[in-house]
Structure 1
Amino acid sequence: VLMSLHEMFPAVHAAEMAVQRNPRSWDAWQTLGRAQLGLGEIALAIRSFQVSLHIFPMNPEVWKEDLSWARKLHEQQKATKTEAVQALAKEKELAQESIPDYDFESDEIVAVCAAIAEKEKALSAAKTVVIVSASGAVETVTEKENCPTTPDETLFIRAR
């Protein structure tokens, strides 16, 4: 009933309770397997169907419908995983092949690196600090490396 209402988690829970109450009930194991299939737990469903068949081996419904369907789903799942792994491997190959070989010692790159280094050197010589007081006033302080100044403590907002 719960499975027909698409309530899969409660259906699995109810089927597990039925199996706990009567572990020798083939139909409880069959119901558990069907509920597990509804959740997409194919390997667990196959195991539940196998237990059901171990208890009542002459049940054609479990053989022909449940177990065969679960095996087909399991094979499809394996094929899908294999395809996904192959596609991922192809993507990795393509990604590695598409990386061009750069000449990292060209004059242009050396010039750009030198310009960036000069700019960073100028910025590190004069440090700029923005201070926001508790009242909301904003003050920008440029600090030289030679003379570090600390602003008055009343300007800071206390935080944990």
Structure 2
Amino acid sequence: MAGDQTAFGELMRMHHERTFRLVYSVVRHEQDARDVCQEVWLTVWKQLPSFRGDARFTTWLHSIAVRRSLDHLRKRKRWYDRFIPFSKGDETNTVTFEPIAIDATPNDDPRQERIDQVRRALDTLPPKQRAVLALREIEGLSYEEISATIKIPTGTVMSRIYHARRILAKKLGASS
């Protein structure tokens, strides 16, 4: 058992940073990402004996990370819907979560301003689009790998990425 724990610790050290980046790119909140990562690693610990090796370990790990991230957003939305009343006339039942500003000091660096614009635009994407875009652009996975990771058809992956890029282009084009 001690050897298993040591090996698992090494596995976590090797993959934690990429897993955190992926989770953060979906949930868009640092503390939530840390919480979700704990859930991811707990799931990996429990399910590792059943990992068959049909796919790469990272593909399996990413599928768990994306599922846990989307589950977290669904739970957060249900909580928000239940405890935060909507204003009158809001029939859409959609919620936009505002990211918490980490540094509120003004910055004159145009590159940082552009990075902030991109982050704000990413925050407006629906979670499922944000997840596939993160797998493609941050993790560098192919459409087929994304499809295998989150168990949706390749055409759906392509469609979500296409729509996410269109939304980002529209928002960033208007803000430049």
Q: TM-score range by the shorter chain?
A: under 0.3
Q: Which has the higher contact order (CA 8 A, sep 6+)?
A: 2
Greater fraction helix: 2
Greater C-alpha radius of gyration: 1
TM-score in terms of structure 2 length: 0.23
Task: Point out the structure with the larger strand share.
Answer: 1
TM-score relative to the length of structure 1 = 0.25
